[in-house]
Amino acid sequence: MYILDSNLNEEQKRAVYSDSRALLIVAGAGTGKTRVLTTRAARLIKENPDARYLLLTFTKKAAMEMTTRVRDLIREDTKNRLYSGTFHSFCSNIIRRHSERIGLTNDFVIIDESDSLDLMKKVFSRIYSKEKLDSLIFKPKDILSIYSYARNNNQDFIEIIQRKYKYVNFEDIKKIVNLYELSKRERNYLDFDDLLMYGLLSIKALEKSPFDEVLVDEFQDTNQIQAEMLYRFYYLGSRISAVGDDAQSIYSFRGAYYKNMFDFIKRLDAEKIILSSNYRSTQPILDIANSIIQSSYNSIKKELIANVKLKDNVKPKLVIVSDDWEEARYVAREMQKFNEKGLKVAALYRAAYIGRNLESQLNSMGIKYSFYGGQKLTESAHAKDFMSFLRVFVNPKDEIALIRILRMFPGIGEKKAEKIKNAVINGGNLKIALSKEKNLEELNLFFEKLFETTDWHDILELIFNFYKDIMIRLYPENYEEREADLIKFMDMSSNYDNLVDYLEAFTLNPVERVEFDNNNVILSTIHSAKGLEFDVVFLLSVIESVYPHFKAQSTDEIEEERRLFYVAITRAKQRLLFIFPRHSKKNRGYFAKNTISPFLREKDSYLDVSIVG
DNA sequence: GTTGGCGCGTTTTTT
DNA sequence: ACGCGCCAAC
């Protein structure tokens, strides 16, 4: 037995050294799941230097962090022994390698969610007349999200549609998805779901697993296609070890299926190890967390027990304030006090707009803070504009990108762009189609120059210079900041060997927007705070209609809200403060009376209540 | 018939 | 910060 980490407790050691072919590590919040997974990977590599391992995560950041930790443990490079990456990037890789076997070419372009939506809107306008479009009860976004859910979970799309919309024309809806599929195929696009589906197909085409073991992080967030990939690897000879916490499953609205944790045990007769020794929070914080998740109707039973012993072992506080502005003032003041003591303090909330009052309060007090979550830099309008030029260079028939470019020019709107695009797609060439438009002469000349250029770094340079002037016209208020972003993108190009890899990275490894002004005062949605921890946590607006959110209606949806509430609570290490504003200001200027979140009802014994203002 | 300006609302969003 | 709907202007 290699002593890679002598500080592991008994349950963690069992998880690190188990040799089961299928292993499920149920890791409650703060129980050291990353440590267990990385130590396990390190131990495997050490014991069998010739073996190869695959570590799958949901974010690039997690993959990189774990690789670093494994490398630090074994004090060697992990190259050729541990492949770690996101499900999507792993899929993209295996598809490019096996593309011809599954009927694809390896030069596909990965489109993100907003591209998918653009494409779906095009499909809608091709199928319905303008009047019909306005009267539809389902929107492109609705169809796309249901379709995506169905594909990711092996369910019949039409059946779900029928359940949700009783009186719609199902033939039309079949036509919509068929045309959506066809459009992708014709333009050589793969959307995020295609990556997973074709990834699974590629795995199915293997005769033997290239990996001795597949390790999986955040297993509760996998969908059924991702789980199927793991089962395939198992049947091809891999061991599988998965870490997850069903109580922290908060992404089912995007297709995550936490019941994979139960299925995994049943299907593979997996060994189950529960980690419940918590190294993050004080017992009073865990007590309320346990009591809230206990009422959950189906979860793997585990009671978190604190290992943290502080002299200052205070109960969570429920602070009652008069309204949401008072909430912002109170929290800003208190955050400042804790921050001055050197503590890391966060305000968490259900939806971005709830943090807005606090943000302006902190600004007016001159307190620096960092903002987690929100839109990625690579998803911003100017980033997508920039990328569109590259995409048209790679594939002149890339219609989403082409239309985006055309619409940057005055006098070119939806219809005209569509017309020009059709001329290009239907056999005609780009140059001829563009030469018919007076406002596009400049663009035509630019493309001519672009297509004569071979070095892709020169191409980036050309695009940058051409788009700069357009940007000044499109975004006169803040084009300087946007230009700085583009320079950042240009600099990133040195990390990639070719244009296709560079383009893929834009979609699969989006760049965060945030600059960290102060790592000790943090504003974040609960979703974006998952996996993080803070000395002090303020949970804003613990009112009914937010916890659970009023749009969550079914039992399953409300259970997910409960888990979200649980995730928020278990971020706190020392202090936890729930803020309840008795009134909230509504848009039209009146104050609405609030009731406290049902999740906090009858929890008085766990709380200290105080009234401020 | 189209384009483009303006005001409004906003659940969360790993890829 | 952005998409959407509405409406005036071309």
What's the confidence (pLDDT) of residue A49?
Answer: 86
For nucleotide C10, the protein residue with its alpha carbon nearest to C1' is A411
What's the confidence (pLDDT) of residue A91?
Answer: 96
**First-to-last C-alpha distance (Å) of chain A:** 60
The distance (Å) linking the CA of A411 with the C1' of C9 is 13
What's the confidence (pLDDT) of residue A463?
Answer: 93
Q: Is residue A100 part of a domain?
A: no
Q: Is residue A3 part of a domain?
A: no
CB A106 within 8 A of CB A121: no
Q: Is the CB of A93 under 7 A from strand C?
A: no
Does A90 share its domain with A238? Answer: yes
DSSP 8-state secondary structure symbol assigned to residue A411:
T
* Closest by Cα among A387, A423, A385 to A404: A385
pLDDT-derived band at A515, boundaries 50, 70, 90: low
DSSP 8-state secondary structure symbol assigned to residue A314:
P
Q: Is residue A104 part of a domain?
A: no
Q: Is residue A29 part of a domain?
A: yes
- Last-in-domain residue among A508, A535, A557: A508
* Closest by Cα among A120, A118, A116, A85 to A190: A116
Nucleotide nearest the Cα atom of A419 (by C1'): B2
Nucleotide nearest the Cα atom of A134 (by C1'): C5
Looking at the DSSP bridge assignments, the partners of residue A271 are: A23
Phi, psi of A232, rounded to the nearest 5 degrees: -60, -45
CB A243 within 8 A of CB A218: yes
The distance (Å) linking the CA of A322 with the C1' of B15 is 41
What's the confidence (pLDDT) of residue A460?
Answer: 93
What's the confidence (pLDDT) of residue A413?
Answer: 86
Does A172 share its domain with A213? Answer: no
Does A529 share its domain with A591? Answer: yes
* Closest by Cα among A121, A97, A127 to A205: A97
CB A376 within 8 A of CB A513: yes
Nucleotide nearest the Cα atom of A193 (by C1'): B15
Q: Is the CB of A167 under 7 A from strand B?
A: no
Does A548 share its domain with A496? Answer: no
Q: Which nucleotides of B are covered by protein (CB under 7 A)?
A: 1-4, 9-15
For nucleotide B10, the protein residue with its alpha carbon nearest to C1' is A353
Give residues 98-157 of chain A lying near strand C (Cβ < 7 A).
Answer: 114, 117, 134, 139, 141
Q: How many helices (H) and strands (E) does chain A have?
A: 25, 18
* Closest by Cα among A89, A55, A87 to A71: A55
Q: Please give the share of chain A, as a percent, with pLDDT higher than 90.
A: 46
Does A209 share its domain with A87? Answer: yes
Give residues 575-594 of chain A lying near strand B (Cβ < 7 A).
Answer: 587
The distance (Å) linking the CA of A168 with the C1' of B8 is 29
pLDDT digits (tens, 9 = 90+) for A449-466: 999 999 999 999 999 999
What's the confidence (pLDDT) of residue A71?
Answer: 93
Average pLDDT score over residue span A119-138 = 81
Is A32 known to sit in a ligand binding site?
yes
Q: Is residue A196 part of a domain?
A: no
A452 vs A432: CA distance, rounded Å: 16
Nucleotide nearest the Cα atom of A117 (by C1'): C3
Nucleotide nearest the Cα atom of A85 (by C1'): B15
Does A442 share its domain with A485? Answer: yes
* Closest by Cα among A376, A296, A365 to A561: A296
Q: At what angle do helices A157-164 and A140-152 cross, to 10 degrees?
A: 130
Instruction: Give the residue carrying structure tokens 């793969």.
Output: A190
Residue A589 pLDDT > 60:
no
Q: Which nucleotides of C are covered by protein (CB under 7 A)?
A: 1-6
Does A317 share its domain with A437? Answer: no
pLDDT digits (tens, 9 = 90+) for A193-247: 999 999 999 999 999 999 999 999 999 999 999 999 999 999 999 999 999 999 9
What's the confidence (pLDDT) of residue A586?
Answer: 60
Is A346 known to sit in a ligand binding site?
no
CB A117 within 8 A of CB A143: no
Q: Is residue A434 part of a domain?
A: yes
Is A63 known to sit in a ligand binding site?
no
Average pLDDT score over residue span A475-481 = 82
Per DSSP (E only), the strands in A141-276 are 189-191, 213-216, 239-244, 271-275
**Mean pLDDT value across chain A:** 88
Does A82 share its domain with A229? Answer: yes
Residue A516 pLDDT > 70:
no
Residue A587 pLDDT > 60:
no
The distance (Å) linking the CA of A431 with the C1' of B8 is 40
Rg (Cα) of chain A, in Å, rounded?
26
A484 vs A487: CA distance, rounded Å: 5
- Last-in-domain residue among A508, A533, A559: A508
Q: Is residue A540 part of a domain?
A: yes
A127 vs A125: CA distance, rounded Å: 5
Q: Is residue A101 part of a domain?
A: no
Q: Is the CB of A478 under 7 A from strand C?
A: yes
Looking at the DSSP bridge assignments, the partners of residue A82 are: A53
Per DSSP (E only), the strands in A263-380 are 271-275, 277-278, 305-306, 317-323, 345-349, 370-372
Give residues 328-347 of chain A lying near strand B (Cβ < 7 A).
Answer: none
A587-594: list long-range contacts, CB under 8 Å, 24+ apart: A591/A323, A594/A541, A594/A543, A594/A544, A594/A545
A27 vs A14: CA distance, rounded Å: 13
A121 vs A111: CA distance, rounded Å: 15
Q: Is the CB of A381 under 7 A from strand C?
A: yes
pLDDT-derived band at A178, boundaries 50, 70, 90: very high
A121 vs A116: CA distance, rounded Å: 9
Nucleotide nearest the Cα atom of A478 (by C1'): C1
Residue A580 pLDDT > 70:
yes
The distance (Å) linking the CA of A493 with the C1' of C4 is 35
A283 HSE (CA, 13 A, CB side): 8
pLDDT-derived band at A5, boundaries 50, 70, 90: low
Q: Return the structure tokens found at A60.
A: 């690039």
Nucleotide nearest the Cα atom of A192 (by C1'): B15
The distance (Å) linking the CA of A419 with the C1' of B2 is 13
Does A325 share its domain with A446? Answer: no
Does A118 share its domain with A91? Answer: no
A556 vs A562: CA distance, rounded Å: 10
A122 vs A128: CA distance, rounded Å: 10
Q: Helix (H, G, I), strand (E, B), or coil: what is residue A85?
A: strand
CATH of the domain at A576: 3.40.50.300
Does A53 share its domain with A79? Answer: yes
Is A328 known to sit in a ligand binding site?
no
What's the confidence (pLDDT) of residue A420?
Answer: 87
Instruction: Give the residue carrying structure tokens 């059709």.
Output: A422
Q: Is the CB of A413 under 7 A from strand C?
A: no
Give residues 486-525 of chain A lying near strand B (Cβ < 7 A).
Answer: 507-510, 525
- Last-in-domain residue among A508, A530, A548: A508
Does A419 share its domain with A481? Answer: yes
What's the confidence (pLDDT) of residue A297?
Answer: 61
Domain that holds residue A435: 377-508
CB A238 within 8 A of CB A51: no
AA letter at A340: E
pLDDT-derived band at A311, boundaries 50, 70, 90: low
What's the confidence (pLDDT) of residue A165?
Answer: 79
* Closest by Cα among A268, A264, A267 to A246: A264
A528 vs A325: CA distance, rounded Å: 24
What total number of domains does chain A contain?
Answer: 4
Q: Longest Cα pair distance anywhere in chain A, in angstroms?
A: 78
Output the pTM of the full model. Answer: 0.89
